[in-house]
């Protein structure tokens, strides 16, 4: 596992971070992009809008959630890397899913957006120096580092991939 300190991630994020075996954020982002695109492409069409229980998200909802969350996490990483000391708020993921209308979208458009967002995240993390990665800020009322956010992006995606495998397929 990585060598993150407890002040580099919110306590709830440890559930995500502990799933990450890759020690290099950039390598993890690049490899995970290809793995996830392949994984999503193997999902049968009839499962894309399937819910395993009432009130749960569809796979399309989950895909757009991953896209939205990655954008938010990357934005936080950018602000912290640029020494913005503003405490950054959390976000209500369920509100995002309700208003995003993922199930009205073509699956290919979600895959394309996922790829574009991941490329932007890779580009952003490529721009960070080793010093930038260690910078600390506040997000969702917790101390987080830029690298902690990077590992959270990776682990958050692995968490949801596991849920898809366990509950949807």
The CATH code of the domain that includes 155 is 1.20.120.450
Low-confidence ranges of the chain (pLDDT < 50): none
In a domain, 123, yes or no: yes
Count of residues in the chain: 169
Is 37 a member of any domain? yes
159 occurs within a structural domain:
yes
Looking at the domain assignment, is residue 38 inside a domain?
yes
State the residue range of the domain holding 76: 6-167
Q: Is residue 1 a part of any domain in this protein?
A: no
What is the predicted pLDDT for the residue at 2?
Answer: 73
Is 86 domain-assigned?
A: yes
The answer to whether residue 140 is domain-embedded is: yes
CA dist., res. 110 & res. 107, Å (int): 5
Nearest to 118 by CA among 83, 62, 73, 76: 73
pLDDT for 1 = 52
Q: What is the predicted pLDDT for the residue at 3?
A: 87
The answer to whether 68 and 80 have CB atoms below 8 angstroms apart is: no
- The beta strand positions in 41-101, using DSSP E, are none
CA distance linking residue 75 with residue 77, whole number of Å = 5
Q: Is the dihedral of CA 15, 85, 27, 71 positive or negative?
A: positive
Model pTM score: 0.95
Closest CA to 93 of 64, 113, 116: 64
CB 135 within 8 A of CB 83: yes
Domain tally for the chain?
1
Strand positions, DSSP E, 97-135 = none
């Amino acid at each position: 596992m990585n060598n993150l300190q407890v002040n580099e991630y919110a306590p709830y994020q440890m559930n995500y971070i502990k799933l990450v075996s890759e020690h290099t954020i950039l390598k993890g982002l690049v490899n995970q992009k290809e793995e996830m695109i392949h994984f999503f492409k193997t999902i049968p069409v009839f499962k894309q809008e399937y819910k395993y229980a009432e009130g749960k998200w569809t796979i399309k909802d989950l895909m757009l959630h991953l896209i939205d969350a990655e954008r938010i996490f990357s934005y936080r990483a950018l602000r912290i890397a640029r020494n913005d000391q503003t405490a950054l708020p959390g976000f209500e993921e369920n509100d995002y899913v309700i208003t995003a209308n993922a199930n009205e979208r073509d699956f290919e458009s979600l895959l394309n957006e996922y790829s574009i967002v991941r490329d932007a995240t890779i580009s952003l993390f490529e721009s960070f120096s080793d010093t930038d990665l260690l910078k600390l800020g506040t997000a969702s009322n917790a101390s987080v580092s830029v690298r902690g956010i990077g590992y959270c992006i990776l682990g958050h995606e692995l968490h949801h991939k596991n849920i898809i495998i366990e509950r949807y397929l």
